[in-house]
Structure 1
Amino acid sequence: MYFPVSPAEQAVAAELAAVRPALGPAYSAALDGARAAVLTRLWRALAFEPLPWVAARERGRTGLELLLAGGGRLEGPPPDAYATDAYVTELLLDGKPYRHAARLVAALGVPHGEEFAAELDGSTASLALSRAGQAPADPDVAALTTWQWEQRVVDGHPYHPNCRSRPGFSVAEQLAYAPEHRPVVELGLVPVRAEECLVTGDWPAELRDAGRIMVPVHPWQAAHTLKHERVRDGFAAHPLMALRTLAPVAGGAHVKTALSTRLTSSVRDISGYSVETAAAVSDFAQRLSERLDGRLRFTRTLSAATAHSPDLAAVLREPPEVYADAAAGERVLPVAALASFPQARSAAWRAEFARLALSVCLRVLELGVALEAHGQNLLVVLSATGAPMRLVYRDLADIRISPARLVRYGLPVPPLSGRLITDDVAALRRKLFGSLLTGALGATAGSAGAFADAFAEAAGLPATADTEALLTGPLPTKALTLMRLSPGVPGDQWAELPNPLTGG
């Protein structure tokens, strides 16, 4: 059994002893694995991201050596850009061993490292807590609902060192609201006069009352951000893997709520721009799906509302299950949950899924839309025997749309402006490749070798310039650690990963 050694680990242990003491032994036992999981994610970043204080990278006798700008040397095992198992248990900084990501970053002494180290400490402790409360490993797959599959995604982002960073959440709140702990969450409702709201789509009658819009709010948001708002009783819901998106127990539309805290990299509020564009983007996506032979469906955004504040807003979205034939035994799983789906452990299954995902998403890109197809947004419809049949995509808030490509294929250009619209080829490819290839599919494979094997038979891809770029060059990925260490730099920053498809 392992014991807390860092401030965050000790704080979680103390809170757990007060609110759920029976989980204490499992938490202690999970700490060592959580440390390795976060350290592995950090090592990927250190090995591949364009960090300004890494002067050079050299192959050493037993792995990789990083020469630091200040003269130090960091040594670790050979890096695998697509490994999702915790294979890094120790890194050496000037010969001194480090097993805890937070302590290593603090010792590096890099700009903004103190804040990042605290986040890594919290991520490690929260990951151990998540693993301590996870569901049994081998479920009766036929009996699980889609929301239950979502709650089986325990480790969070497969490559981000802040995979379980939840600042502002106490242990009691994590147990009460985090999907991997399988709670039922009571959403509240905040009444706002209709004339004081921006609403797109058809806001339902059951969420209106006497000229007021009833905006669903997460209980954490009500307690920590909307402290002076009058919150009425709402309805019970199951948290999905996004934590702030929930499936009502009574059924119906999924609810995406504002959660004004930084989870992994971003503050999870809802911008006015997202509400304003929600209906137009959803309508556009439905028309686009008609060009895809039924292989990809988009969950419709039914309505969105904001009280002209990113802290008080909500989006109502069609559940992905409507695109599966339950009577025929079909089910829908988010790609991030495939790690616990038995058939997905087969190389042949992964190759079949890779062909489906690549051919569909590359076709959509050629038509003019770059999807952010990471393991949370992209879902797969499985047959009764577990074969991948078609895809479902949800959450249209961060796709990219190319008017020039749409026009080329005779598709209507949606009446939109702002960040969703771009004809920049590099931006479009980064959006898709950085989410699908170096995110969802890389994580599904689990290693560079398995990734290459899965794509070895990926025949039938559209013969386009995008496909050529995919098959011949390095693969882009968000430089997530660089972004956390560059708080003054707006927007995404990028790294390039070796491409298993090219052998380089």
Structure 2
Amino acid sequence: MHRPDTAEAEVADELAAVRPGLVPRYAAALPGARAAVLTRLWRALAYEPLPWITGRESVRDGLVLRLTDGRRLDGPAADPYRTDAYVTAVRLDGTPYDDPARLVTDLAVPHSAGFAAELGHSAASTALARAGRENHPDEWPESEWGWEQRVVDGHPFHPNCRARPGFSVAEQLAYGPEHGPVVELGLLPVPAAECLVTGAWPRELRDGGRLLLPVHPWQAAHVLKRPGGEATLAAHPLMSLRTLAVPGGPHVKTALSTRLTSSVRDISVASVAASDTLSVFGQAVAARTGGLLDVTRTLGAATAHSPDLAAVLRESPRAYAAPGEHVVPVAALATTGLPRSPGWPAGFARLCLTVGLGLLELGVALEAHGQNLLVVLSTSGEPLRLVYRDLADIRVSPARLARHGMPVPDLPARMLTDDPAALRRKLFGSLVGGALASVAGSGPVLGAALEEAVRELPRTGDLRALCAAPLPVKALTAMRLTPGRTGDVWTVLPSPLTAGPPASG
């Protein structure tokens, strides 16, 4: 059913040269990696607005998709919230496919060639990540990066979950968080007069009249085309790969001008300019949550007036943990055997919705996916409160803020909207369709937790909208198949809530 994909073969050849001992484990990991990517792709085919799919029909134990050219695509029933690799093959006009890249190639729809190549790299890099991982015991990691590096498969719902375009195998092993490396960030000296700086740039990253800008070694080699400076800063890559933790120090967000999943990860000049304002605003917002949420502060940001040469220094989320507590990215919750009481899923959902909906009522819609959102756990594993990092993609409603007596900060125009639909889909898609869904692992489990959680929440218009309507989420595959379009594309998923909206009160 499978023929070797070019990306898989290329990775195997490179791996044989740089780490031959991993080749057998890589080969053994390939079928599971293909299934992981195919499962994410099948979710997209089942629910996203793709113009070449004319009909979707549920049949006994499965789903049939009808294409504009008359072909038929058959696969299992699609649970949009399920995260295990349960789709091992689908059939296109009776021919079985276990390889997502080959399937998309043979679908031959607009822009499919580029997307198929991305899927091939995603499956190959997922297999590489799985081959290189260590068997993690159930004990909790001692370091903050230990939690982040347990997220081996990447994004739980994006078919490009582990795509690393432009990274050789040696570079993936050297820089990928799932491989647990220590990365030496270059410190590139740039005249301070040529930089935009907001916040407090630390003394240890200054050299007379020059700033020492932390530069990722991949960026230095492939984009800047120059060394990152003689001095270096040892750091541990976190889940996003371009953000790294300095032991005992801050988190350093570096420019990494390549496409990871959907976006190119540079740092815009506008985001540096707004970073201090956003940080102050984040503290004011967190103060309105009654101690249930902390927002990490931006300590300093600098750019040489180029998105390719910039860095942001952020407070570590561990600053908000008391002795004995752990701060865990939500995306990492499913990676280890955390002790959970029977009411844990509903309690966690209640905490997240209390914070998320409370801030939405105030006028702030968080991009609360499993990477940005962290939970503080007690020594017994109970969720106590939340920590949020990276405010760059929030949405803010001036009208809602004004109703609550909060001044509107001077933020980029793209962040500001009073449209309830735009505000709700930002929060609902990331928090419910992303963070909570990834922890639940299936629609029934997610629905049960949400139905119990919403009983105790204030009956706001936003809560009624969450309960009454299908769930909006980003159409991640449609976005990759419309490369000329800017901005997000959205779709809706069947609501995981089956009890209907709560009564107003």
Structure 1 counterpart SS, 2:120: helix
**Could you give the per-residue CA deviations for residues 424-458 of structure 1, whole angstroms, max 9, x where no partner exists?**
11111111011001001011100001111212310
> Quick one: distance in 2 between partners of 1:480 and 1:232?
40
User: 1:89-238, aligned counterparts within 5 Å?
Assistant: 89-141=88-140, 143-228=141-226, 231-238=229-236
Describe how 1:257-406 pairs up with structure 2 within 5 A.
Answer: 257-326=254-323, 329-343=324-338, 347-406=342-401
For residue 464 of structure 2, the aligned residue among 461, 468, 473 is 468
Q: Which deviations, in whole Å up to 9, do the C-alpha atoms of 1:104-145 show, x marking residues without a partner?
A: 00010100000000000000000000011113133321x522
Structure 1 residue 4 displacement after superposition: 7.8
State the Cα deviation string for residues 370-426 of structure 1 (Å, max 9, x = none).
000000000000111111000000001111111110010111211223211111111
Aligned CA distance change for structure 1 residues 345 and 70 (closer, same or farther; 3 Å): farther
Superposition deviation, residue 471 in structure 1: 0.7
CA offset at residue 461 of structure 1? 1.5
Offset of residue 167 of structure 1: 0.3
Aligned length: 499
Provide the C-alpha distance between the structure 2 equivalents of 1:345 and 1:81, rounded to a whole number of angstroms: 24
Identity %: 65
Letter in 1 for 2:109: V
- Relative to structure 1, is the Cα distance of residues 444 and 344 closer, same or farther in structure 2, using a 3 angstrom cutoff? farther
The answer to whether the 8 Å contact 2:2/2:97 transfers is no
Aligned twin of 2:484: 488
Equivalent AA in structure 2 for residue 465 of structure 1: G
Task: List per-residue Cα deviations over 1:29-56 (Å, max 9, x = no partner).
Answer: 1101000000000000000001011011
How far did 1:147 drift?
1.1
Runs of 4+ in 1 over 4 A off after TM superposition: 344-347
Gaps of 5+ in 2: 501-505
Using the size of structure 2 for normalisation, the TM-score is 0.97
Report the AA paired with residue 128 of structure 1.
A
Residue in structure 2 matched with residue 32 of structure 1 by the alignment? 31
8 Å Cα contact 1:281-1:396 kept in structure 2: yes
Listed as ranges, the matches of 1:6-25 within 5 Å are 6-25=5-24
The separation in 2 between residues aligned to 1:108 and 1:346, in whole angstroms, is 46
Distance of 1:61 and 1:352 partners within structure 2:
35
RMSD: 1.4
In the TM superposition, residue 102 of structure 1 has moved relative to its aligned partner by 0.4
Give CA deviations for 1:287-346 in whole Å, capped at 9, x if unaligned: 1111111100000011111101100000000000000012xx101000000002423666
| Contact persistence 1:347–1:454 (CA under 8 A) | no
Which AA in structure 2 matches 1:100? D
Cα distance in 1 for residues equivalent to 2:159 and 2:294: 32
Q: Equivalents in 1 of 2:485, 2:351: separation in Å?
A: 36
Q: Distance in 2 between matches of 1:421 and 1:357?
A: 23
CA distance in 2, matches of 1:246, 1:41: 27
User: Structure 2: which amino acid aligns with 1:467?
Assistant: L
Q: Is the 8 A contact 1:135 1:152 kept in 2?
A: no
Report if aligned partners of 1:344, 1:350 keep a CA contact under 8 Å in 2.
no
How far residue 62 of structure 1 moved from its aligned partner, in angstroms, is: 3.3
Structure 1 gap ranges (5+) = none
Does residue 439 of the first structure (1) align with residue 434 of the second (2)?
yes
TM-score (norm 1): 0.97
The residue aligned with 2:503 is none
- Mapped partners of 1:224, 1:315: distance in 2: 20
SS in 2 for 1:456: helix
Does the residue aligned with 2:173 lie in a helix, a strand or coil?
Answer: helix
